[in-house]
Amino acid sequence: MSDETEKLEEAAEESKKKLGSPIVTDQKTLSSLWFDQRELNVRYLVSVEKIKKFYEGISAGKVMATKCAKCGEIYFPPQSYCSKCGSDSMDWIELSGTGELLTYTVINVKPQSFSHYPDYVVGIARMPQGVNVLAWIDGDTGKLKVGMKVRLEVKKRDPEGYLTYWIKPE
């Protein structure tokens, strides 16, 4: 729950005691607002059945993409079929070697579910295999430059404690 919501909840509890209803007043416009008494928590179950090999790769420290066995198109994020030629015969290849940093940013104002992290740096790297990868940038982010050499690495993301891929300046 955000600080904003916590304050509203306190005010709503107060109002329920006084008025009987959870009515809060917006401090700026002085309008009356009903403070929702139903809370919705959402967590999705997203299928990764057809790209399980990607997670096997991550487990072995590799970032994998798929390559169409028929037309050669490479997909990252990995895809189990080829949007280009329609084939569903895909090979797995590793995205490795030295890439180029195309662009980056620092996320200062964070979404609710990322608010426990310090400001993080996100970049997009062009890999020698010809596809781009978007990820957090690890390492000395103070010296970043568009066009600099980078590589991918697999590392744990804390505090959640799961493996993911990062862009690392060389």
- Contacting residues toward another protein, per CB under 8 A: 2, 4-5, 26, 28-29, 31, 33, 36, 44, 46, 76-77, 102-115, 117, 120, 122, 124, 131-136, 145-147, 157, 164
CA–CA–CA angle 137, 140, 141 (5° rounding): 55
**Closest approach of another protein to the CB of residue 148, in Å:** 11
Distance CA 84, CA 73 (A): 7
Of how many residues is the chain composed? 170
Residue with Cβ nearer another protein (20 or 118): 118
Tell me the closest approach of the beta carbon of residue 17 to another protein, in angstroms: 23
Residue with tokens 């596809």: 131
Q: Least CB distance from residue 44 to another protein, whole Å?
A: 8
CB 163 within 8 A of CB 59: yes
**Shortest Cβ distance from residue 87 to another protein (Å)?**
19
Torsion from C-alpha of 78, 83, 86, 89, nearest 10 degrees: -10
Nearer to another protein, 85 or 146 (CB): 146
Cβ neighbours, 10 Å, residue 22:
18
When the beta carbons of 18 and 29 are compared against another protein, the nearer one is: 29
